[in-house]
Amino acid sequence: MRVHTLKRAVVALALALPGAAIASVVAAPAAHADGCYTWNRTLYQGRSGSDVRELQLRIAGWAGNNNVVELDGRYGPKTAAAVRRFQAAYGIRVDGIAGPQTFRKLYQIQDDNCTPRHFSYSEMDDGCGGSGWDGGPLSTTQTRQNALRTMWKLEALRKSLGDDPLIVTSGFRSRSCNSRVGGASDSQHLYGNAADLISNDKSLCQVARQARNHGFSGIIGPGVSGHNSHVHVDSRRENNQDRSTNHTYWAAPACGIPAGNR
C-alpha cells in the first residue's frame, strides 16, 4: 500500500498532542489534501462544475447494479446514489452529500497522481510491456484518463470484495499489442477502458458477479472461450469513440451470468 508523506506527518503530529488537540487535528479538513485535487465546497444534487466531475470520476465504481455514473459534471440522482454507496462502504455518514467526511476519505484512498491507492498507471499501461499510452486510437491523454476511471472502478470492486487484492493481467493495449495477443479488433483495451483480472483470494466467479455492481458495462468471464483464466471488465457503454453502439454486455455462464445485453 502506498502512503502519502503528508498523511504520515499529520498522524505523527496528532499523536504528539493531548486529547482535544488530537480530535481537532484529525477532524479538520486539510487546506490542500494532497498533490492531486482538493475540493473547496460541499457538493449535492443540483450543483455542477469541474469539482463535481472530479467527484464522479472517483465514485464511478459505486454506480450500482447495471448502472453507470456519467462524468458530466452534474450532480444528479445517480451521482447522489453512488455517493451514498461509497459512504456506506467506508463507514461514514450516509446522506448522498459530498462534504468534509466524504472528501477526507477520498483523500485517504488516492495518491498524489490521482490514482486510487491500490492501483497504478504502470500496471494499467500496455499488456505487452508498457508503451507510454501511445499506439491506440485515442490520444495518450485521453487513454490515460480512461485508464484512471477504470482504476477507480477497480478500487470500488476491490473494496466490495473485502479489500483482497485484484491483479491486473492486461490493461491498456496498443494496436500492435492487441493484435499480438489476439484481442478483438475494436477491443476496449485499446481505449484504456478495460482490465483483465485475477485474484489469489477470491474466485473468478466472485469477481465477475461483484463487478456487476461497480459500473462495468462489459464483463466476460468463466464459461466463455478464452476467459476461463481471468475476468475481463470494461466500460464499453460509456465509450463514444469506438465503433460499437453503447450497450451493456455480460457473459460468464459458468458463474450464473448468462451471455447477453442488459
Active site residues: 227
The full DSSP string for 194-209 is: EEEEE-SSS-HHHHHH
Give the Å distances, CA to CA, from 107 to 79, 101, 249. 18, 10, 33
Contact 181, 228 (CB under 8 A): no
Give the Å distances, CA to CA, from 212 to 35, 58, 60, 71, 262. 32, 17, 13, 19, 11
The residue behind cell 490520444 is: 139
Residue 100 carries which side chain, given as an amino acid letter?
P
H/E stretch holding 167: strand 167-170
The full DSSP string for 65-133 is: TT-----SSB--HHHHHHHHHHHHHTTS--SS-B-HHHHHHHHHHB-TTS-BTT--HHHHS-TTT--SS
Look up residue 62 and give its DSSP letter.
Answer: G
Strand partners, 214: 64
Q: How far apart are CA 247 and CA 197, in angstroms?
A: 21
Contact 17, 25 (CB under 8 A): yes
